[in-house]
Amino acid sequence: MSITSRVKKVLTGNHATAYAVMQARVDVIPAYPITPQTTIVEKLDEFIENGLLDASMIRVESEHSAMAAAIGASAAGARTYTATSSHGLLYMYENLWWAANARLPIVATFVTRAIGPPWNIWSDHQDIFTLRDTGWILFMAKNAQEAYDLTIQAFKIAENPNIRLPVGVGYDGFYTSHTSEPVEMLSQDEVDSFLPDKRAIKPLLDPEHPYTIGNLPDASFNFLIRKNMWSSMESSLDYIRKVGYEYYLLTGRNYGDLVDKYRTDDAETIFVSIGAMANEGIVAVDKLRARGVKVGHMALRLLRPFPTAEVLDVLDGADRVIVFSRALSMGKGGVLFTELADLAYRYHLDIDVYDVVVGLSGVEVVDNDFIKIFRDVSEGVFDNKETIFLLGGKYV
């Protein structure tokens, strides 16, 4: 039944997302199943069958076609949604770039999962980080509530006529996608008034004003297209903050700060992580604080555009950052590490940045991993020139 008043339900991350998409009243959902994403679109199909959502579910033959259909639907002005994971995301890859360059306000969920071979369905972040440079605005939720909240906000951000970039909401496969937890949902009326009128989406495909999309321009126009996306990305930060604070006023859950800060104010050491393992980092902070150690945790909830001002604000006063990456750039280091190291250089921060790779291929990351690294870094076991690999409490 439709949600007439605010309600708290016990939901998996995937079902929380499906509810948000239903409440956003999307028009078109082209989708292809892949674990651990599948239960999102299954739930959406159920909503359509039960008459709760008036949308077209397009059953395509592949993820490449799913994004191609999403491009067509969005270019025609429809509010469009899809979801994928891992190999599905990679099969979709070409069209994910296409959607961004064509400035189509598609919203998608990327339920993170490792990439094979060997075959693996568990979570790591290699798949979503392949989108780093595409032009998609990227969020990474740490629990089901954030998945719900960010999905609602995603439509508003994507469809802003001065932004017009696709928005992806990521979260960890199984840890978040299939784990049930209490999720507070807005009423349908609240969502309706929070989101813009979907009929205001500017169609690129318009029989009255025929255009060719993506025709061959000269090279400098292509350069300017990418530069223009950069400018929109940069200026979108202000709007993402605004939407986040509006949502804060509505729900009491603060998204306007862009980064998720935990006891960072007087922290000398700051853990940085994303997604589900951030919850473990937060537990570790509490345990270390109980021993009188000044540590804090920052979850980078927004990956692109990078929230530089907020991150600098958190790092101010700290002398050490330990970055936990669940994705590895072969021959370079942890993917998340490079983001923070770059900042330390550009802004001449007097701060040591440590590179820790954990949880690849879904290996569990627990609070004791954070504590162990903290202890060993403090004792000088590692310097910040090396990439540290921690698997199940042991260095490998």
Partner 1 sequence: MSKVLYPISKPGPGAVGKTSTWRWQKPVIDLNKCTKCGLCWLYCPEPAFDIDAEGYPVVKYDWCKGCGICYEECPVDAIEMVSEE
CA atoms within 13 A on the CB side of 126: 23
Q: From 53-61, 178-186, 229-237, 274-282, give the range in contact with partner 1 by CB under 8 A.
A: 229-237
Residues 27, 179, 62, 124, Cα dihedral to 10°: 120
Using CB under 8 A, pick the residue from 161, 182, 392, 393 that binds partner 1.
161
Under the binding rule (CB under 8 A), the answer on residue 223 touching partner 1 is: no
Under the binding rule (CB under 8 A), the answer on residue 164 touching partner 1 is: yes
What x-and-dash track marks residues 180-209 binding partner 1 by CB under 8 A?
Answer: ------------------------x-----
Angle at CA 144, nearest 5°, toward 141 and 146?
A: 45
User: Shortest Cβ distance from residue 336 to partner 1 (Å)?
Assistant: 28
Under the binding rule (CB under 8 A), the answer on residue 252 touching partner 1 is: no
User: Shortest Cβ distance from residue 238 to partner 1 (Å)?
Assistant: 8
Q: Report which DSSP code applies to 385.
A: T
Smaller CB separation from partner 1, 209 or 348: 209
Under the binding rule (CB under 8 A), the answer on residue 231 touching partner 1 is: yes
What number of other Cβ atoms are within 10 A of residue 280's Cβ?
25
Under the binding rule (CB under 8 A), the answer on residue 212 touching partner 1 is: yes
Smaller CB separation from partner 1, 118 or 207: 207
Q: Which residues contact 225 (CB under 8 A, 6 or more apart)?
A: 101, 217
CB 170 within 8 A of CB 110: yes
CA atoms within 13 A on the CB side of 178: 12
Under the binding rule (CB under 8 A), the answer on residue 213 touching partner 1 is: yes
Q: Which residues contact 31 (CB under 8 A, 6 or more apart)?
A: 41, 44, 57, 58, 59, 60, 66, 82, 83, 84
Question: Which single residue is written with the structure tokens 């903050």?
Answer: 241
What x-and-dash track marks residues 92-121 binding partner 1 by CB under 8 A?
Answer: ---------xxx------------------
What x-and-dash track marks residues 334-353 binding partner 1 by CB under 8 A?
Answer: --------------------
Token representation of residue 4: 């007439």
Token representation of residue 104: 């189509």
User: Shortest Cβ distance from residue 78 to partner 1 (Å)?
Assistant: 17
Tell me, what amino acid is at 231?
A: S
Q: From 56-64, 143-151, 224-232, 361-369, give the range in contact with partner 1 by CB under 8 A.
A: 224-232
Under the binding rule (CB under 8 A), the answer on residue 215 touching partner 1 is: yes
Q: How many residues bind partner 1 (CB under 8 A)?
A: 23
Q: From 1-9, 33-41, 139-147, 222-230, give the range in contact with partner 1 by CB under 8 A.
A: 222-230
CA atoms within 13 A on the CB side of 240: 29
Under the binding rule (CB under 8 A), the answer on residue 73 touching partner 1 is: no
Of 26, 161, 155, nearest in space to 80 by CA = 26
User: Shortest Cβ distance from residue 277 to partner 1 (Å)?
Assistant: 35
Token representation of residue 42: 């299954």
Q: Using CB atoms within 10 Å of the CB of residue 182, give its burial: 0 to 12 exposed, 13 to 18 middle, 19+ buried.
A: exposed
Using CB under 8 A, pick the residue from 216, 219, 290, 396 that binds partner 1.
216
Residues making contact with partner 1 (CB under 8 A): 101-103, 161-164, 204, 210-217, 224-225, 228, 231-232, 235, 239
